[in-house]
Amino acid sequence: MTILQRILHVEDDPSIQEVARVALEIVGGFEVQSCDDGYSALERASEWQPDLILLDVMMPGIDGPTTLARLREQAETRDIPVVFMTAKVQTGEIEHYRAIGALDVVVKPFDPMTLAAQLRTIWERAHAG
Amino acid sequence: MQDDDVQAKLAALREQYRLRLTHDLQTLLAQTRELSTHEQGIDPESLQTLRQGLHRNAGSAGTFGYAKLGSEMRELELWLQTAMESAIAPSPPMLTAMHHRLEEILRELLETPDDAVGESRESQELASGEREVQIAVMAGELSDHLVQSLQGFGYACRKLASCHEQAPESASAQAPESMAVDALIVDAARIDESQWKATLEKMPSAMLILLSDEGGFDARLHAVRHGAQGFFNHPVDLPSLERRLRHLINLPQQEPYRALIVDDDVELAEHFRLTLKSAGIESRVITEPQAVLQGLRDFVPDLVLIDINMPGCSGPELARIIRFDDDWLKIPLIYLSAESNAKRQAQALAQAGDDFLVKPITDVALIAAVTARAQRSRQLSLALARDGLTGLIKHPAIKELIEIEMARSQRADTSACVVMIDIDCFKSINDTYGHATGDYVIRLLANLLRQRLRRVDHVGRYGGEEFVAILPSCTLVQARDAIERIRQSFAGLECVAGTQTFRASFSAGISCTRDWTDADALLEAADRAMYQAKQRGRDRVCLALAEAESPRGPDV
């Protein structure tokens, strides 16, 4: 199985972007790039070819689910797994994201000390099956 | 990468986030105030902006340690969303209500100590799982005063009315069933026994503290028989009460005791080590007497267990060698021996050493003996380095700590701050109310500082009414904010002198390691800033700014 190494984090909130970078780069030891919105994520994902995209659900411009749909339309990004990050508001939201093709969902607020481990678990579980 | 490094980075991010959060809340306040005046209906776009503002912080606050605030924002967000999706559009009164809630949230944020001020990991962990300490007071007409004072110390405290007191708020102030209260303070002279007992029954986890007019043995015995864990006479000495509460509720997590075992019988020593380990006592075994001094220096034990018969050097000889060194004078030395002859035991003790444990010894007896002596040894060494009145670090020790922090912050290129605090018009407090009251005010401030500063901070009593605090990993502005909050609390505390009450205040000066090159200059700068605060009218905090002609450049 491929080792999880490169993570593209798509998030419009700069504070969350920074804390996630600490959580993933320093605590988790991953290689991380960040994008502020869905459009730049589409470009960066095809250039950089991350192992996984951590995608915020609610963003200005195109939201997370729309970005996921666009990623699936581009040949270069079609197979990159996506994990949503959401400040869950509605019941059934998480099930819905899984249904539209997200590998899994990370709930906000997240704990910076365990975010990396959470992603690693999701990754391993997905590859074990 | 070092864990500390991660923590420092996270702390810095938290600090940034706190600023942003304050700013966002102010924006939300302005928006809700504006929208609540729209009589003609509110445009959906403004509502969407408002909702996004709430959503953004509802999702992020918890990550930065503001979990409670995050869930409050989430509640408001859901409230707004539900209204937006329903047929009844959000109305001006609803936005007014939201405005008030946001005001409360902002006030709470501003009033909580800045957790982001370089919080250590230990306290960060605390912050996530911590709840406030809840104290209930049943003390008749004294309740208000107690509640107010304990709140000043940072406890969540409320008064419970008794039935025969027909206070207007008594209905709301009754204890709800099985309230999670940590301590119940009862004035035995003013509240019926049956009544407080009934209340106590509803608080299974609460500790009982009784206040009484009677000071005799019988009153104390009575209190003990009622399961009280604290007993105070009127007038209640608040700092002592607060100390007792802290002791009862929040027994500080102690470092494990450490024992050095010197025994040439390797297997027996190892058995002792494992036995002590099972009780949480750390120990190190030394089988060669010659290695004992090195062992003392490396391991810094709370006590030493010495086998009395060792080849080359007897136990008493070794004990005398240890006692040559002033550094180890206060460490208990305990002989382990098969020697049951009382006379020979006395001879050994006459040379040096503090006690005898006779082998074979049961595990339970060994653990009990070591624990009791280690505890005593800790208390003693703590007492030696601490000021008797306040329990704070004494002058010479605090100066040493300033030097250590100065060096540390220069090495790590971080900033630490030194705060000099002086109680205002202390002489006039002494002259007006007497020295006992002066001491009381000093203890009041000492307790407040200890309670409000972080665990990584050091607080010392520098002189009569003068205190010094060292705040590692902290900028000048953060230090000012923290001390300013303490200043406000202190100025708000009501001090009691007999039947009179009065208020005291302090002036403080703060300097930062980044602006000064050595510990003396740093301390002098804080001192000058403190005098400046006095000159400007007291009861304020002044910062020592680096002198313009000698800025600390990158090469200095």
Mind listing the pLDDT tens digit for each residue in A39-57? 999 999 999 999 999 999 9
Residue A113 lies in a domain: yes
Q: What are phi and psi of B208, to 5 degrees?
A: -100, 130
For position B221, what pLDDT does the model report?
83
> Residues of A near B (CB-CB distance < 8 A)?
13, 15-16, 18-19, 22, 26-27, 58, 86-87, 89, 108-113
Q: Which of B511, B510, B506 is nearest to B538 (CA)?
A: B506
Using a CB–CB cutoff of 8 Å, tell me whether B231 touches chain A: no
Mean local confidence (pLDDT), B84-91:
73
User: Taking 70 as the threshold, does the pLDDT of residue B415 lie above it?
Assistant: yes
Confidence category of residue B163, pLDDT binned at 50, 70, 90: low
For position A129, what pLDDT does the model report?
59
Confidence category of residue B550, pLDDT binned at 50, 70, 90: very low
Cross-chain Cβ contact B63/A19 below 8 Å? yes
Confidence category of residue B254, pLDDT binned at 50, 70, 90: low
For B13, the closest chain A residue by CA position comes to A19
Confidence category of residue A70, pLDDT binned at 50, 70, 90: very high
Mean local confidence (pLDDT), B189-215:
83
Angle between helices B67-85 and B92-111 (to 10 degrees): 170
pLDDT digits (tens, 9 = 90+) for A80-116: 999 999 887 667 788 889 889 999 999 888 888 889 9
Cβ contact B184:B209 at 8 Å: yes
For position B457, what pLDDT does the model report?
83
Least confident of A73-77, B147-151, B420-424, B440-444: B147-151
For B21, the closest chain A residue by CA position comes to A15
Using a CB–CB cutoff of 8 Å, tell me whether B167 touches chain A: no
Least confident of B2-6, B233-237, B255-259, B468-472: B2-6
Distances (CA, A) of B35 to B3, B58, B100: 46, 21, 13
**Which chain B residues contact residue A111 at CB under 8 A?**
63, 128
**Which chain B residues contact residue A108 at CB under 8 A?**
59-60, 62-63
Using CB atoms within 10 Å of the CB of residue B412, give its burial: 0 to 12 exposed, 13 to 18 middle, 19+ buried: middle
Distances (CA, A) of B175 to A111, B157, B366: 35, 12, 46
Handedness of CA B309, B310, B312, B315 (dihedral sign): negative
Quote the minimal CA–CA distance from B13 to chain A in Å: 7
Interface pTM (ipTM) of the complex?
0.81
Least confident of B62-76, B172-186, B491-505: B172-186
Our separate counts of H helices and E strands in chain A read 5, 5
Nearest-CB residue to A109 (from B16, B61, B78): B61
Strand locations in B263-379, DSSP E? 282-286, 303-307, 333-337, 355-358
For A56, the closest chain B residue by CA position comes to B59
Residue A1 lies in a domain: no
**Which chain A residues contact residue B16 at CB under 8 A?**
15, 18
Q: What's the CA gap between B410 and B514, in Å, rounded?
A: 8
**Which chain B residues contact residue A16 at CB under 8 A?**
59-60, 63
Q: Which of B289, B256, B283, B290 is nearest to B269 (CA)?
A: B283
For position B330, what pLDDT does the model report?
76
User: Taking 70 as the threshold, does the pLDDT of residue B412 lie above it?
Assistant: yes
Q: How far is CA A108 from the centre of its chain?
A: 12
* A34 strand-pairing partners: A9
The number of distinct structural domains making up chain A is: 1
Distances (CA, A) of B338 to B256, B320, B341, B344, B358: 28, 20, 9, 11, 5
Domain encompassing residue A107: 6-128
Which CATH number does the domain housing residue A71 bear?
3.40.50.2300
Q: Which of A109, A42, A102 is nearest to A77 (CA)?
A: A42
3-state secondary structure B187-234: ECCCCCHHHHHHHHHCCCCCEEEEEECCCCHHHHHHHHHCCEEEEEEC
Chain pair A-B, CB pairs under 8 angstroms? 60
Confidence category of residue A11, pLDDT binned at 50, 70, 90: very high
Cross-chain Cβ contact B13/A15 below 8 Å? yes
User: Taking 80 as the threshold, does the pLDDT of residue B552 lie above it?
Assistant: no
Confidence category of residue B93, pLDDT binned at 50, 70, 90: confident
Quote the minimal CA–CA distance from B2 to chain A in Å: 9
Distances (CA, A) of B173 to B177, B203, B245, B321, B529: 12, 15, 22, 65, 45
Query: Which residues have C-beta within 8 Å of that of residue A76, sequence separation ≥ 6?
Result: A45, A46, A49
Quote the minimal CA–CA distance from B23 to chain A in Å: 13
Most confident of A2-11, B34-43, B261-270: A2-11
% chain B with pLDDT above 90:
17
Q: What's the CA gap between B139 and B129, in Å, rounded?
A: 31
**Which chain B residues contact residue A22 at CB under 8 A?**
6, 9-10, 13
DSSP B393: B
More confident residue, B106 or B343: B106
What residue ranges define each of the domains in chain B, with the CATH number in brackets? Answer: 3-114 (1.20.120), 131-249 (3.40.50.2300), 258-384 (3.40.50.2300), 395-543 (3.30.70.270)
The mean pLDDT of chain B is: 80
Quote the minimal CA–CA distance from B20 to chain A in Å: 9
Distances (CA, A) of A72 to A41, A46, A76, A79, B457: 13, 11, 9, 7, 53
For position B176, what pLDDT does the model report?
44
Cross-chain Cβ contact A22/B81 below 8 Å? no
> Which residue's structure tokens are 């007038």?
B235
Cross-chain Cβ contact B63/A13 below 8 Å? no
pLDDT digits (tens, 9 = 90+) for B46-81: 888 898 889 888 888 888 888 888 888 888 888 888
Query: What is the CB-side half-sphere exposure of residue A80 using CA atoms within 13 A?
Result: 32
Q: What's the CA gap between B142 and B126, in Å, rounded?
A: 33
> Which residue's structure tokens are 């809700």?
B32
Confidence category of residue B247, pLDDT binned at 50, 70, 90: low
Query: Which residues have C-beta within 8 Å of that of residue B20, sequence separation ≥ 6?
Result: A15
Mean local confidence (pLDDT), B209-232:
84
For A85, the closest chain B residue by CA position comes to B59
